[in-house]
Amino acid sequence: MQLTTRPRGTMEAPVLPEPAKFPGKRSRYIRTLVLFLLPCAVLYGAIVLFPVVQALYYSLWNWSGLGPLTSFVGLKNFVTAISSSTFRTALGHNLIILVLSLCVQLPLALVLALVIGKSLPGRSIFRMIFFMPYILSDVVVGVIWLFIFEPNGLLSSVWQHVFPGSQSPLWMGDPNIVLYAIFMTMTWKYLGLSLVLYAAAIQNIPDELVEAARIDGASMFQVVRSITIPLMGSTIRLTILLSALGSLQYFDLIWIMTNGGPVHASETMATYLYKNGFVSFELGYGSAVGVIMFLICFVFAILYQRFVMSRDLAGSVTEAVV
């Protein structure tokens, strides 16, 4: 028998046992995940997915909402809606509200959040004051601002003091300004939500970054432009998405204040849907308008998340360790 010798001072590497494999661990994890998600999935399917599919089915029929479905019209309701000048006007009003929200409401909330910042005395009180209108229902807000917009209301009185001798505009009766008057009300209600979100994002910015920039000679404007706003990017992109989707399907406040009038001057897709679907008892046509609204919002949300929020969504996904 031949013996092999090992040089003195050398050690043989220890052989580690292979880690035990648990083939059932992943399956248990999947079962637990399904168990917790199943109730939410059932609820989501019942109150979201099923009504969408049902509306798509009803949109193919000429149906008043009463009795059985007997008159199949195919895509005629969609063609009628797209060719309707009133519907196109309503869509244009939604786009106007969208542009005003992105160009006026959100920048104003951002400026106020930057002014309040982290060190303004009483900043919690300011945030509370701006946020309070958001907790009110749209019905309450609409009634309050109807009193303000009355010919002898608060806004007309202020107009008379600022421009003595001139006639105050008919805020709710002039087709040229009624939509902008409603947007003023919308800004009063929803400004606080964006402001609170921006203020929370500012709170998460490390003070060390700002102090280092100021030590290097950066002005406050340069700090805001190069540090604060870029670090708030994910919050800004989220508020843009929420504001855009809300602008495309807004209904409550407009219906309370003007019913889409006068002469369709404040008509939106949602008020147009309600009038033609529920008031006129054309549920098939109203369902087609609802499907068009859904497709517009769905396509916008998918494209926006794909090309604008992809980095934010990728950073929020974590891989489960099993």
pLDDT of amino acid 318: 47
Whether 286 contacts 278, CB under 8 Å: yes
Tokens of 317: 């996904």
Calculate the CA 34 to chain-centre distance: 28
Query: DSSP H helical segments within the chain, as ranges?
Result: 23-44, 50-58, 76-83, 85-100, 106-116, 123-131, 138-148, 154-162, 178-203, 207-215, 220-223, 229-231, 233-248, 252-257, 269-274, 283-307, 310-316
- Three-class HEC string of 228-267: HHHHCHHHHHHHHHHHHHHHHCCCHHHHHHCCCCCCCCCC
Superfamily of domain 76-311 in CATH is MetI-like (1.10.3720.10)
Report the half-sphere exposure of 64 (CA within 13 A, side-chain side). 4
pLDDT of amino acid 310: 81
Cα–Cα dist 95/97, whole Å: 5
The CA-atom distances, in angstroms, between 178 and each of 35, 49, 56, 245, 257 are 51, 35, 33, 22, 10
- As to burial, measured by CB atoms within 10 angstroms (0-12 exposed, 13-18 middle, 19+ buried), residue 83 is exposed
Neighbouring C-beta atoms of residue 190, cutoff 10 Å: 22
pLDDT of amino acid 321: 41
Instruction: Using the structure block, give the residue that is written with the tokens 């606080």.
Output: 192
Helix axes 283-307, 50-58, angle to 10 degrees: 130
pLDDT of amino acid 320: 43
pLDDT tens over the chain, length 322 residues: 444 555 555 555 555 555 545 556 788 888 888 888 999 999 999 998 999 999 999 999 999 888 888 899 999 999 999 999 999 999 999 999 999 999 999 999 999 999 888 778 888 888 899 999 999 999 999 999 999 999 888 898 888 888 888 888 889 999 999 999 999 999 999 999 999 999 999 988 888 888 888 888 888 889 889 899 999 999 999 999 999 999 999 999 999 999 998 999 999 999 999 999 999 899 999 999 999 999 999 999 999 988 888 877 765 544 444 4
| Residue 210 neighbours by CB under 8 Å, 6+ apart | 223, 227, 228
pLDDT of amino acid 282: 92
pLDDT of amino acid 211: 87
